[in-house]
Amino acid sequence: MTITRGAVAPDFELRNQHGQTVSLQELLSRRAVLVVFIPLAFSPVCAVEVAQLNDWHDIAASAGVEVVVVSVDSVATLRAWSDDTGFRLSLLSDFWPHGAVAKQFGVFLEDKGFARRASFLIDHDGVVQSIIESPLGETRAFSDYERAIVALTSDSDS
């Protein structure tokens, strides 16, 4: 079952493309977090989407949101992808146990072996405030991300 809006996000620890352990709890201690699940590194739609997220990273950061990308690819694959593209985003490997974090969020596609295209905006308290999804062959709309972040920052100002 997919995590729903208003639910507490499951904590996780994954290694990024540099082999460093990143935990959701640690990230949330500093700011809100946008967890972006992608199917596979180097695939055309994922490459376009992550490049857009990378370009948009500073805007999200200025709004108090950390963006992390999660895929079932290995750390080595994510490092090669990051080195090849110059991505500054934290690319997190959900490689082993295969797709465990995607399964916790309810977005792992068992028949395909990877996560569906879903993003979760999680506030400082660990509560999912927004979910943004798109079909596998389509990128998520950045206007949806922007609306979600504006709503999050408006709620925290109240």
- Structural domain including 134 reads 13-157
Paired strand residues for 127 = 8
Active-site amino acid positions: 46
Instruction: Please answer whether residues 2 and 118 qualify as being in contact, where contact means their C-beta atoms are separated by less than 8 angstroms.
Output: yes
Residue 8: inside a domain: no
Paired strand residues for 77 = none
How confident is the model at residue 156, as a pLDDT? 60
Helix (H, G, I), strand (E, B) or coil at 41: coil
> Is the peptide bond prior to 10 cis by the omega test (within 30 degrees of 0)?
no
Residue 5: inside a domain: no
- Give per-residue pLDDT as tens, 21-46: 999 999 999 999 999 999 999 999 99
CATH for 67: 3.40.30.10
Instruction: Please answer whether residues 10 and 3 qualify as being in contact, where contact means their C-beta atoms are separated by less than 8 angstroms.
Output: yes
pLDDT above 70: residue 157: no
- Give per-residue pLDDT as tens, 92-144: 999 999 999 999 999 999 999 999 999 999 999 999 999 999 999 999 988 89
Residue 1: inside a domain: no
Q: In total, how many domains does the chain have?
A: 1
Give the integer Cα–Cα distance in Å for 84 and 149.
Answer: 29
